[in-house]
Amino acid sequence: MSAHSIATTRSATGIPTGRLAVWWVLVSEIVIFGGVLVSYVMHRLGHPEWAAEAAHTNTWAGAFNTLVLLTSSLAAVLAHQAAERGEGPKAARLLRLTVLGGAVFLTVKGFEWTHEIQAGFTLQAGGFWSYYYLAAGLHAFHVLAGMVILLWVAASAARNRHLHRVENIGIYWHFVDIVWIFLFPLLYIAK
């Protein structure tokens, strides 16, 4: 009770506090990923020969992962819809489906990277590969963190508590999806 403040319930902007906070988190995340991607794009445009390295990425794995994340985003927004209708347990199930999508994504990534590392395409194998692992790795870290928070929100939602958090974690998850929507062509397609 001392950890909750009346301040949290106020809304001078009309936007619920939790949702406003998530948007500000996204602001800081856009610049972090932006920093990585801008650096990568500058190098990539300046080194046409990197296309030869990029040819070794697994486009099908990347495309499949894009499909997986898009589907998990669908689950997340359906969870939001359920939460708005007060259907906590249903929202929790959909959130857990979202988490499953994240888990599939990370598993595919695990296989992908194992294969690439065994073929000699390591983090140190050259400029393209350093950026490849940095960008995709940073993204994967955010997927993992998102999964943890999704599970935590789902646990509350299953008991019909804190249903507003379903929308908020969904917004974060859609952002993670959008980052991958750009990573896919940048890392896999541009050959």
Partner 1 sequence: MSESTHAHAAPHHRNYVRIWALLVVLLVISVAGPMLGVPLVTLITAFGVALVKAYLVAKNFMHLDVEKPIVHAAIGLTLLIMVVLYAGVAPDVQKSAGQNWKKSDGFHYVSEAAKGGAGQKGHDERARGH
Partner 2 sequence: MAHAAHPEALAAAPHAAPGGSFFHRYLWSTDHKVIAFQYMFTGMAMALIGAFMAYVFRMQLAFPGAAVPGFGVVSPGQYNALVTNHGSIMIFWVAMPVLIAGFGNYLIPLMVGADDMVFPRLNRLSYQLFLVSALVLLASLVVQNGGFGGAWTAYPPLSANKNYNLTPLGSSLWVIAVALEFVAFLLGGINFIVTAMNARAPGMKAFDVPIVVWTIVVASILFMASVGPLMAGAVMLLFDQLAGTSFFNPFRGGDPILWQHLFWFFGHPEVYVVLLPAMGIVAEVMTVFARKKLFAYKTVIGTIIATGVLSFFVWAHHQFVAGIDPRMANVFTITTLLISVPIAEMCFVYIATLYGGSIRLTVPMLWALAFIAEFLIGGVTGIFLGASGLDVYLHDTYFVVAHFHYTFFLIAVIAVFAGITYWFPKMFGRLMNEKWGKIHFWGTIAGFNGVFIPLFFLGAAGEHRRIFDYTTIPELGRPELQALRIFATVSLLVLLAFQPIFLVNFVRSIFRGPRAEKNPWRANTLEWTAASPPPHGNWAELPQVYRGPYEYSVPGRESDYWPQDEKP
- Which residues make up the interface to partner 2 (CB under 8 A)? 2-8, 10-15, 17, 20-21, 24-25, 27-36, 38-39, 42-43, 47, 123-124, 126-127, 130, 134, 138
Query: Which among 54, 66, 38 is positioned nearest to 133, based on CA atoms?
Result: 54
Burial code (b: 16+ CB inside 10 Å, e: under 16) for 9-28 equals eeeeeeeebeeeebeeeeee
Please return the burial class of 159, using the count of CB atoms within 10 Å of its CB with bins 0-12, 13-18 and 19+.
exposed
Distances from the Cα of 142 to the Cαs of 16, 102, 148, in angstroms? 24, 10, 10
Binding partner of 36, given partner 1, partner 2, none, CB within 5-8 angstroms per partner class: partner 2
Cβ nearer to partner 1, comparing 113 with 121: 121
User: If you ran DSSP here, which 8-state letter would residue 15 be given?
Assistant: S
Binding partner of 148, given partner 2, partner 1, none, CB within 5-8 angstroms per partner class: none
- Rule CB under 8 A: which residues touch partner 1? 8-9, 11, 13-18, 20, 23-24, 26-27, 30-31, 34-35, 38-39, 41-43, 45-47, 49, 52-53, 56, 59, 63, 66-67, 70-71, 73-74, 76-78, 81, 84, 120-129, 162-164, 167, 170-171, 174-175, 177-178, 181-182, 184-185, 189-191
